[in-house]
Chain A
Amino acid sequence: MIRALLLRLSHMVVVLFGIVLLSFVMIDFAPGDFLSQMAMNPQISPKTIAALREQYGLGLPFPEQFGRWLSALFRGNLGYSFSYHLPVSTLIAQRIPMTLLLTGSAVLLSWGLALPLAVFGARRAGGLLDRSLLSFSYLSISLPSFFLAVLGLLLAEKTGLFPIGGARSSLPPGAGAGARSLDLLHHLLLPALTLALGSFGVLYRLMRSSVLEVLAQPYLAAARSRGLTSRILFRRYLFRNAINPLVTLFGMELGGLLSGAAFTEMVFGWPGMGRLMLHAVMTRDLYLVMGGLLMGAVLLLLGNLLADGLLYLLDPRVREPS
């Protein structure tokens, strides 16, 4: 067990290196860099741009540039952002709490709602609840997240029940911690809901079909004929077997926690990482992109590890015969 874990962790380092190298190559491959946006400014001469390129270390040949970044990384330095003139780690650390708050609550909402509802709906497949949830999930599957967010904002403006974007209002300076967290929750509600809505549909459909598939298995009938109560049946067989594909998906979901909500963050003006990364990608802020990418990749790999571990625990059959 410990050996397997260690082996897996050592693979993770190799995979991370692969990811980082591949991304660096591709960023380098696409024409242009951070400074090319200045090139169309009539006030800035190519000489100045060349000098800046020198300063930023962008003119170096690829292996040297990559080597420098990597060796800095080993010393715990993620490099500097060109556009903010700040260490990448500072920028990312600044954004992580808010982003995790949003994506975390959205994941909790969508998974917390979709799984139980799907089990419930599948056992009474064709019932009113199942049918309405299904039609709802069709809608959620087919609408892009950007559009859902715009609709959410429109709702806020029309009803006046929610703040229109942002993460906090200008509270009086004397406001206590209670008032401030309430205010934050009020701002969080709508973006988290729209984000959760987007993934609810897929989860509901997948979980529902998994449950249906398990329900059709012969061993369930056998168990039932042995007189097991439906609660034990559910705990012991149904949930454990139906959740298999979802566990794998859950692991991957962790990888999207940091920058998966870029469009929602943009529309709602939520001060998160997704927005920062999208902007960094668009402006080719190399080290900021690489820093964010690295964090996302680590989370994804950890998520996958977690998922494989969970599968192992939930479903003994997954274990390899040794």
Chain B
Amino acid sequence: MRGLRSLLGRVGVAGALLLLLGTASLFAEFLAPYRYDSVRFDLPYAPAVWPRLEHGRLVVPVLRMVDPVHRRYAETGSVLPLRLFCRGESVRMWGLFRSSRHLFCTPAPARVLLLGADLFGRDLFSRLLYGMRVSFLLSFLGVMISFTIGTLVGLVAGYAGGWTDRILMRTAEVVMAVPALYLLMGLRSIVPYGLSGLSVALVITGSLSLVGWASLARVVRGLVRSLVSRDFVLAAVATGASPARIILRHLLPNMRYYLLVAVTLSIPAFIVGEAGLSFLGLGLSEPRPSLGNILAEGQSLETMESAPWLLAAGGTIVLLVVLFNRLGDVLREAEEQIGSGKIQGRTDKNGKDAKSRENGT
């Protein structure tokens, strides 16, 4: 019982942080002081501008570009007040209704830049919030599609064996060997050019997961092949369990560790992969932000020199990876604890062993 409580406590840390980030990105329209496409051509790569306390109120200094070559800025001396729960730029909340309420904002020409600005003077903080939402959405969708297909194909192929196995695996090989780039370019030519927003995002996700399932299917198939001849599966077959039951009840649970880790590993792959697609014009097109395309802008020598803060997108990706992986580990422990009775002959002793081993991770 004590173990369970401490477990919940620890799901809290990684899980709560993820939940926090997710919620923050969900309410980006309210939390971000600016729209993701709100440009200020007089503030390219402007450094962070924080509100400060002056005469008992929060104010934001106004910046002026003094050297366009090196992107150097100076304060003009004038300051404007920072307001909370104010009316600022008008946005469509979740694309549904108009709202102009923001958590905080400041009137132009001042601009709060918690993390600095990008090339077009857009607020990086606001763009990260919106970008995180898109990246969350795309990677979840993509992982879901590719894992469903991949696991299913792998399970069926591995369990059925014979010609089913051969045909499915050879198909997977074809998918793996045909370069994704060409698949996407072919796809690009049928997608109408004027498409925008969610539809583009769906096309991206769809195309990414269309390629991603094959390798997973092969791994799962290999795992299943090794499981099907084990005693507990043979026993289940002998008792006349249906194939579906065997797959769901006996095979799937036994590879859940691998799947869990693979899921946590492929989320960043989807986030970063989306940025690569922008190169083909298939990615999320600007001005819409995603963690991937913000990072893509930040990784040249010039931007590392003049706007290192763009690497915050990379930092966010690292943070998400760590959190997802931690969450994966914690979920596994939780399952080991709770489900130790259910899963094939796991003794309490072993469950505890595994738990104590995992404690420090």
Contact = CB atoms under 8 A, between A and B. Distances in A.
Interface string A170-189: 00000000000000000000
A248 B182 contact: no
B62 interface: no
B218 interface: yes
Contacts, number: 177
Interface residues of A, number: 66
Contacts of A215: 353-354, 357
A23 B182 contact: yes
Contacts of A319: 229
B360 A131 contact: yes
B222 A248 contact: yes
B301 A150 contact: yes
Interface in B303-339: 314, 317-318, 320-322, 325, 336
A126 B360 contact: yes
A257 interface: no
A164 interface: no
A296 B177 contact: yes
Please indicate which of the listed interface residues B173, B229, B264 has the most CB atoms of chain A within 10 Å of its own CB: B173
A174 B284 CA distance: 54
Contacts of B222: 244-245, 247-248, 307-308, 311, 318
Contacts of B219: 245, 248-249
Interface stretch (B23-31, B35-43, B44-52, B254-262): B254-262
B166 A11 contact: yes
Contacts of A202: 265
Nearest to A213: B257
Q: B interface, by DSSP: helix, strand, loop or mixed?
A: helix
B179 interface: yes
Contacts of A248: 218-219, 221-222
A252 B226 contact: no
Interface of B: 161-162, 166, 169-170, 173-174, 176-179, 181-183, 185-186, 188-189, 215, 218-219, 221-223, 225-230, 257-258, 260-262, 264-265, 268-269, 272, 275-276, 295, 299-301, 314, 317-318, 320-322, 325, 336, 344-347, 349-351, 353-354, 357-361
15 contacts: A22-B178, A26-B178, A141-B269, A144-B272, A147-B314, A150-B301, A206-B261, A218-B345, A244-B223, A252-B176, A252-B218, A300-B173, A300-B176, A317-B227, A319-B229
Given A126-B360, A147-B295, A209-B260, 7 more contacts: A15-B170, A30-B189, A134-B361, A210-B258, A252-B176, A317-B228, A321-B229
